[in-house]
Amino acid sequence: MEINVSKRKREEKKGGDLLAFLGESPTGGESRPAAASSTPTATKEHIVEEIYSFISSRGSASKDELFKWGRSKGYTTADIMRAVDELSKEGRIKRRLDEEGRLIYTSSK
């Protein structure tokens, strides 16, 4: 039994510390870059403006239409949702449900 316990302790030490999965070292600094986002900040602003242009040019767009268009542009679901949330908070678009229960985004012009 003693042999198995010491072997387990050695294996646990190989895995790193508790904060390693967050990309932080115990000293408080970053040990590696965090992969929190797939797109740089400048590109995020560009995505927001492109999504707003798409919705405003059509007057409204369903969630399915927006995601289909966004995927064709190479945007991730997270990128699209982040942009929609930002536009909604700014009051540039509104969210509503149509008579069939689908989510529709409309321009707030």
Say whether pLDDT at 3 is over 70: no
Tell me: do 47 and 99 sit in the same domain: yes
Beta-bridged to residue 60, according to DSSP, are: 106
Beta-bridged to residue 103, according to DSSP, are: 97
Confidence of residue 10 (pLDDT cuts 50, 70, 90): low
**pTM beyond 0.75:** no
Say whether pLDDT at 12 is over 50: yes
Q: For 30-82, write each residue's pLDDT tens digit.
A: 444 444 445 555 588 899 999 999 999 999 999 999 999 999 999 999 999 99
What's the CA gap between 21 and 16, in Å, rounded?
A: 9
Tell me: do 26 and 74 sit in the same domain: no
Residue ranges making up the domain that contains 49: 37-109
Residue 22: predicted pLDDT: 56
Tell me: do 12 and 54 sit in the same domain: no
Confidence of residue 92 (pLDDT cuts 50, 70, 90): very high
Tell me: do 6 and 31 sit in the same domain: yes
Nearest Cα neighbor of 104 from 70, 63, 65 is 63
Question: How many structural domains is the chain composed of?
Answer: 2
Tell me: do 49 and 63 sit in the same domain: yes
Range of weakest confidence among 2-11, 63-72, 93-102 = 2-11
Residue 43: predicted pLDDT: 83
Q: Cα separations (Å) of 13 from 8, 21, 25, 28?
A: 9, 14, 15, 20
